[in-house]
C-alpha cells in the first residue's frame, strides 16, 4: 500500500485514504493500553470504510523505550517524523519529580506549538460515579498547553541563576523574597490565550454548546490569570461578535433567556469552579483554562464520570496534533494488564474525528458505550461498582472491538 502523508493548507487538514499515523507506545501502562486502542481503531476503520480507508501505523520512540534503544529520551528522529507526518497518538511518558530531565510531553507541546489541549468529559451509561446525576456532566476543557508555570523557566534554590534573579528582584524591583527560595516564572501571553479562546469558542459554536467559561485566578494573579480572563473576553467579542454574548448581557439585555445561536461567555474564579462543576454541572459546558488550572480541573472532572481510565485528550496546533490520554504512566499498575485502555481508545476516537473519519469515530463511541453497559469493565471501574468482576486491559480492548458492528 502506498504510504501517504497528511498535509495542512492554511490550517485545513488534508487526509489521504491511507495516511501514516505515528504512535508512541509510552512508559508504564502505555504498552498495555496501546494494544487495545490500536485494535479498536483498526476495527472501526475497517468496518466503517470496508478497506477503502486504512491507517498505516508507524512507531516512533520516546521515553524509556527510546532511552534503551538510542540513549536519548526524545530522539531527533522521532521529532523529524512528527514534523513530516503531522499526527501522532501517544501513551503516557514518565517525568521525574524534582530533578532529572524536563517533561517530554511539555517538550513535544512546545516544539510543535500544540497550543490547545482539548479534553472532553462526558458520562457513559453504566459508569460508576460519586455524584447524583453524572449524566449532567458533559463538558469540554480547552487547556492552554505551552505557557504558564509549565514553561519550564525555573531555577533551583541556591543556584547562581536563582541568586542572580533574586538579586534583581530584591535589589532593583523592591521585593523581599527569602534568599533560600526556588524561583519559577509564569508567563501568559495574549497571543496564546487568544489562540486557545478562538478554538474554544469556535468549538462551542460548531457543536451547539451553550457557554464558554473562562477559568482563572485573576483576583490574585492579576497580570497573568487576570489578563487571561480579559484577553479571552476580548477574543470572543472581537472575533465572534455575532455568535457570543456575555453573561452580563444575558441578564441585562435578554432577561436570562439565552437567545438561539448565541454562546454565553462567562468567567469563574478557579477555586469556585471546582465546587460549581460538582454542584451545578449543567451550568458548565466548554471551559477555557490556563495550563495549570486546566491540568487540575481535568482530573477532577474525570473523577465525576468514571475517572482517569476513560479520560481522553488531544493536543492541537496549527499544523500538527498529538492525541493522548489525560493520565500518566500509572506506575502502581504498570505491566499487570489491568489498566483501562478506554482513555487511549477514546483519544483514538478523537483522532479519527479530527481526520474527518466521523463514521469510524461514531462506531467506537457506540461500541464503547455498549461494552460498559454490558458490565464489561476493567478494575478501575469495577472497584467502584457492586457485584461486577473485572476484565484485563486486553480483554476489554477485545470486547470493544467485537462490539463494533456495521
Residue ranges that bind ligand NAI, judged by CB under 6 A: 29, 33, 92-95, 105, 308-309, 324, 327-333, 339-340, 343, 380
Nearest-angstrom CA–CA distance, 393 and 30: 11
Of residues 327 and 376, the one with the C-beta less far from ligand NAI: 327
Which residue of the set 85, 150, 203, 284 is catalytic? 150
Query: Roughly what angle, to the nearest 10 degrees, separates helices 30-49 and 393-402?
Result: 10
Nearest-angstrom CA–CA distance, 72 and 204: 40
- b/e sequence 211-249, b meaning 16+ C-beta within 10 Å: bbbbbbbbeebeebbbbbbbbbbebbeeebeeebbbeee
Which residue of the set 32, 267, 295, 337 is catalytic? 295
Rounded least distance, CB 377 to ligand NAI, Å: 11
Active-site residue 295, yes or no? yes
Rounded least distance, CB 227 to ligand NAI, Å: 27
CB of 38 closer than 8 Å to CB of 57: yes
Rounded least distance, CB 186 to ligand NAI, Å: 20
Phi then psi for residue 389, to 5 deg, are -90, 165
Nearest-angstrom CA–CA distance, 336 and 390: 13
Nearest-angstrom CA–CA distance, 232 and 245: 13
Rounded least distance, CB 309 to ligand NAI, Å: 3
Strands 87-90 and 390-391, sheet pairing = unpaired
Rounded least distance, CB 295 to ligand NAI, Å: 8
Which residue of the set 222, 251, 271, 405 is catalytic? 271
CB of 285 closer than 8 Å to CB of 293: no
Nearest-angstrom CA–CA distance, 152 and 378: 36
Nearest-angstrom CA–CA distance, 19 and 5: 6
Rounded least distance, CB 204 to ligand NAI, Å: 25
- b/e sequence 147-186, b meaning 16+ C-beta within 10 Å: bbbbbeeebeeeeeebeebbeeeeeeeeeeeeeeeebeeb
Active-site residue 271, yes or no? yes
Nearest-angstrom CA–CA distance, 249 and 256: 8
Give pairs for 75-80: CB < 8 Å, separation 24+.
78/24, 79/111
- Helix and strand counts by DSSP (H, E) for the chain: 14, 17
User: Within a 13 Å sphere around the CA of 211, how many CA atoms are in the beta-carbon half?
Assistant: 22
Reduce the DSSP state of residue 19 to 3 states and report it.
Answer: strand
Rounded least distance, CB 94 to ligand NAI, Å: 4
Residue of closest CB approach to ligand NAI: 328
Rounded least distance, CB 33 to ligand NAI, Å: 6
Strands 314-316 and 286-289, sheet pairing = unpaired
Residues with catalytic roles = 150, 217, 271, 295
Amino acid at each position: 500500500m502506498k504510504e501517504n502523508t497528511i498535509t495542512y493548507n492554511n490550517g485545513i487538514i488534508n487526509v489521504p485514504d491511507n495516511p501514516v499515523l505515528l504512535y508512541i507506545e509510552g512508559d508504564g501502562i502505555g504498552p498495555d493500553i496501546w494494544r487495545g486502542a490500536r485494535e479498536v481503531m483498526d476495527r472501526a476503520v475497517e468496518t466503517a470504510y470496508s478497506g477503502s480507508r486504512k491507517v498505516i501505523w508507524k512507531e516512533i520512540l520516546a521515553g524509556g523505550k527510546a532511552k534503551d534503544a538510542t540513549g536519548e529520551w526524545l530522539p531527533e528522529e522521532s521529532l523529524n517524523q512528527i514534523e513530516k507526518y503531522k499526527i501522532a497518538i501517544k501513551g503516557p511518558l514518565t517525568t521525574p519529580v524534582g530533578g532529572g530531565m524536563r517533561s517530554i510531553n511539555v517538550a513535544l507541546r512546545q516544539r510543535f506549538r500544540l497550543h490547545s489541549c482539548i479534553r472532553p468529559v462526558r458520562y457513559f451509561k453504566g459508569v460508576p460515579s460519586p455524584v447524583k446525576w453524572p449524566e449532567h456532566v458533559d463538558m469540554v476543557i480547552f487547556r492552554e498547553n505551552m505557557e504558564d508555570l509549565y514553561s519550564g523557566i525555573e531555577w533551583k534554590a541556591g543556584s547562581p541563576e536563582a541568586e542572580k534573579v533574586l538579586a534583581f528582584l530584591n535589589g532593583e524591583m523592591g521585593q523581599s523574597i527569602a534568599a533560600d527560595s526556588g524561583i519559577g516564572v509564569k508567563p501568559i501571553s495574549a497571543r496564546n490565550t487568544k489562540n486557545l479562546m478562538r478554538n474554544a469558542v469556535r468549538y462551542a459554536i460548531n457543536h451547539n454548546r451553550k457557554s464558554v467559561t473562562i477559568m482563572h485566578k485573576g483576583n490574585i494573579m492579576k497580570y497573568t490569570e487576570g489578563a487571561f480572563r480579559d484577553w479571552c473576553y476580548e477574543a470572543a467579542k472581537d472575533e465572534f461578535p455575532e455568535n457570543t454574548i456575555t453573561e452580563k448581557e444575558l441578564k441585562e439585555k435578554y432577561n436570562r433567556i439565552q437567545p438561539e445561536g448565541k454562546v454565553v461567555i462567562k468567567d469563574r474564579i478557579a477555586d469556585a469552579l471546582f465546587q460549581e462543576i460538582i454542584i451545578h454541572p449543567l451550568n458548565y459546558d466548554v471551559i477555557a483554562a490556563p495550563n495549570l488550572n486546566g491540568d487540575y480541573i481535568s482530573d477532577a472532572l474525570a473523577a465525576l464520570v468514571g475517572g482517569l481510565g476513560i479520560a481522553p485528550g488531544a493536543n492541537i496546533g496549527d499544523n500538527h496534533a498529538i492525541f493522548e490520554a489525560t493520565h500518566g504512566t500509572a506506575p502502581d499498575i504498570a505491566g499487570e494488564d489491568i489498566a483501562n485502555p478506554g482513555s487511549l481508545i477514546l483519544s483514538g476516537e478523537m483522532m479519527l474525528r479530527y481526520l474527518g473519519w466521523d463514521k469510524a469515530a461514531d462506531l467506537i463511541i457506540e461500541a464503547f458505550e455498549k461494552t460498559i453497559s454490558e458490565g464489561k469493565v476493567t478494575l478501575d471501574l469495577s472497584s467502584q461498582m457492586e457485584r461486577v468482576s473485572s476484565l484485563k486491559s486486553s480483554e476489554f480492548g477485545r470486547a470493544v472491538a467485537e462490539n463494533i458492528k456495521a
